[in-house]
A and B are shown apart, each in its own frame.
Chain A
Amino acid sequence: MISALICTPLIAAAVVWFMKPGLHRARVLPVAGVIHLALVLAALARSAHLQPGAWFRLDPLGGWMLLVVSTIFTLCALYAPAYLALRMERNFGVFGVAMLGFLGMASLVAVSRHPGVLWVGMEATALSTTPLLYYNKNKRSLEATWKYLLICSVGMALALLGTFFVAYAAQQGGLGEPIYLDRLVANAAAMPTPWLKAGFVLLLVGYGTKMGLAPMHTWKPDAYGETPGIVGTILAGGVTTMAFLSLLRFYSIMAAAGLGPFCRELLVGMGLLSMTWAFVFMIRQGDLRRLLAYSSVEHMGILAFGVGIGGKATLFALFHVAANALVKSVLFLGSGNIVRSFSSKNLADVSGAMRRLPVSGWCFLLGFLAIVGSPPFAPFTSIFGIASTALGSGRLLAGSLFLALLAAIFTAMGSVILPVLQGNPNPASVRTHYEDTFGLTAPLVLALALALVLGTWLPGPLQTLLSRAALLVEGQP
């Protein structure tokens, strides 16, 4: 079962590779996505009966994250055939293989129970997404790819060093190889704290780079800016989710070692810094995709802040992973459609998008309202939950800063986005042949509907899954 999660996407990738060129290659993606999603759900339903493996196991925390990534992937995969049909001149082989390779490696990260394997999986997700970044094959996308590779490779090197620090602490605590995560959590109290602290700082910087927390987020605006919307979705909803999971794995070791307060201070600081940074760069941002990239930086900050507040806020932060990923896929895929119609992502050239592209425009507007935390969408639930936990637990300063930043970001983002959507299209602006079609809008509507459902009603099994995942984050079995 566990191996099927990893192997199905990889087999599908091999199938794509050996198929003859043509659009049917793109149709493998939705099939593989739906199968993978079904496998994740089946594995979660049967997790009580699955043999607990030492190296690989699907626990509630990994299961929740993989469920999010698999859903996002399926949404993108449903969008892919219609999108690729617009770009028939391109070879879909590399695109499909890279997408499916990413899904396989994300599954590896989710199920791995050893920090070394976790790191290998994260490195592999970075590599498999690199060809996607260079998909447009022009100078600007090359520049974005170079920055992504260099900055993320440095981040991964630091994460490896942090992993080694934790391993050295484990060695001093009397643990031998192999250092499974469960053994690390169980024996955390006996490890020397200086090494654990230093290790966590390195891991926060390393995996934080991958998540895109400020000030290590500098690859993000370029990477999101120069790639197709579908790749932006995979990066903003998939890669960052897995990086967050990797960080949480180590956070639970620290929490078990009694270093929770130290780590939480760091996370709150990083969270607020990321939100501030995102706010500053959102003001009068002239590029649609870069705006979304800064919004992603902001929401990574919210995740870090939530875990940093702790208690119930941890649970809301985990919920926010899903909320953010779903709404981000609406925004990225929707921005793709808008950019295609106006043939520019420069906001000065785009106006009246709702009139020209009613479905994509409306989805984008609702997605914008959702991402800034308006009810009744899912992000509202988590943002409200995190803020009220912060204020309720006596973190008045941090809590009010959090709320003030959210309000500021709402204004900054709104003043940039609303003129683009409302009004009449400027007659002088370019109009390409692109029109909204079912294949290019249905995934958006679906993602928005999911975000709406999650915002109003969380099914019972998911609630149990989330609360068990939150316990795992806090270092309790």
Chain B
Amino acid sequence: MTPNLLLAAIMLINFMLVASSRVSKCIQLAALQGGLLALVLLLMHDHWPFHVLLMAFSTAAIKGVVIPAMLNRAQDRMKPQREPEPYVGYTLTLVMAAAGTGLAFILARRLPLQAGNLGTLFVPASIMALFTGFLLLTTRKRALLQVVGYLVLENGVYLFSLLLVKQMPLLVETGVLLDLVVGIFVMGIVINHIQTAFDSQDTHRLAHLKD
């Protein structure tokens, strides 16, 4: 079975993320996407030595469980409030995401794949996730949603790294795992601080510094 089916599912999740207005749903979707990444990784290998299992497990655990749980907890501890309207409306971001997907396919066609990866969707899926992450980061006001955007962007990097994972496991595994750990660490701390200092995670209030 080629991983293309899973990759298509991952791309579909990107659309759902862009269209969704509820934070808790976005966190769920990001968790699902993270879990799928671990599955793709396992599919890439015919047999699973220890280091592959370790990487798949930590991907699923961190991207699928730990980070979403942290985000959910931060969400629960906040006072219920109305979602602030994003800088750009949901329909427009959806259209932009669609345009980005088209662009991703055009770009991917210009980058020649190696014999073993021909016909796979890794490159367009990766570029599209990158684009979706950017969209969320730039158009959403809530700090939590921006963190989700960052996660999706990271997922894009992860998707591409899977093309390398067989030949250069060392580079990929250290890079990706370190990135994951850093991600939790940093975002966890900052979100906590924002909460205590501002009593809200609306980054719109983080807008005193400007020219």
Which one of B111, B146, B154 has the highest number of Cβ atoms from chain A below 10 Å of its Cβ? B111
Bound-complex Cα distance A201 to B179 (A): 21
In the bound complex, CA of A222 to CA of B193 (Å) = 18
Interface residues of B in 102-133 (CB under 8 A from A): 107, 110-112, 114, 126, 130, 133
B153-198 residues at the A interface, CB under 8 angstroms: 153-154, 156-157, 160-161, 163-164, 167-172, 174-175, 178-179, 182-183, 185-187, 190, 193-194, 197-198
User: Are B168 and A145 closer than 8 Å at their CB atoms?
Assistant: no
Q: Please choose the segment from A167-175, A413-421, A454-462, A468-476 that sits at the chain B interface, where 4 or more of its residues have CB less than 8 A away.
A: A167-175
Interface string of A155-198 (1 = CB under 8 A from B): 01110110111011001100011110000000000001011001
A367 to B171 Cα, complex, angstroms: 43
* Distance between Cα atoms of A149 and B147 in the complex (Å): 11
Residues of chain B within 8 A of A161, CB atoms compared: 126, 130, 156-157, 160
Q: Is A146's beta carbon under 8 Å from chain B?
A: yes
Q: Answer whether residue A140 sits at the interface, using C-beta atoms and an 8 A cutoff.
A: yes
Residue numbers in B under 8 Å from A147 (CB-CB) = 206, 209
Contact A153 B206 (CB under 8 A): no
| Chain B contacts for A165, CB-based, 8 A | 160
In the complex, B73 has a CB within 8 A of chain A: no
Q: Interface code A438-463, partner B: CB below 8 Å = 1, 0 otherwise? A: 00000000000000000000000000
- CB B52 to nearest CB in A, in angstroms, measures 15
Chain A: interface secondary structure?
helix
Verify if B137 is at the interface (C-beta below 8 Å from A). yes
A154 close to B150 (CB less than 8 A): yes
| B211 at interface by CB-CB < 8 Å | yes
In the bound complex, residues from chain B placing their C-beta under 8 Å from that of A285 are 211
Residue B208 is within 8 A (CB to CB) of chain A in the complex: yes
* Of A28-36, A65-73, A115-123, A265-273, the one with at least 4 CB within 8 A of chain B: A115-123
Q: Is the CB of A172 within 8 A of B211?
A: no
Contact B209 A225 (CB under 8 A): yes
- The answer to the question of A142 belonging to the interface, with a C-beta cut-off of 8 Å to chain B, is yes
Hey, which bits of chain A sit against chain B, CB under 8 A? 115-116, 119-120, 123, 127, 130, 134, 139-140, 142-147, 149-150, 153-154, 156-158, 160-161, 163-165, 167-168, 171-172, 176-179, 192, 194-195, 198, 221-222, 225-226, 281, 285, 290
| B interface with A by C-beta (< 8 Å) | 107, 110-112, 114, 126, 130, 133-134, 137, 143, 146, 150, 153-154, 156-157, 160-161, 163-164, 167-172, 174-175, 178-179, 182-183, 185-187, 190, 193-194, 197-198, 203, 206-209, 211
Complex A-B: 21 CB contacts under 8 Å: A139-B208, A143-B208, A144-B209, A147-B209, A149-B187, A150-B146, A153-B150, A153-B183, A157-B157, A160-B157, A161-B126, A167-B164, A168-B163, A171-B114, A177-B167, A177-B168, A194-B110, A194-B111, A195-B111, A221-B209, A222-B209
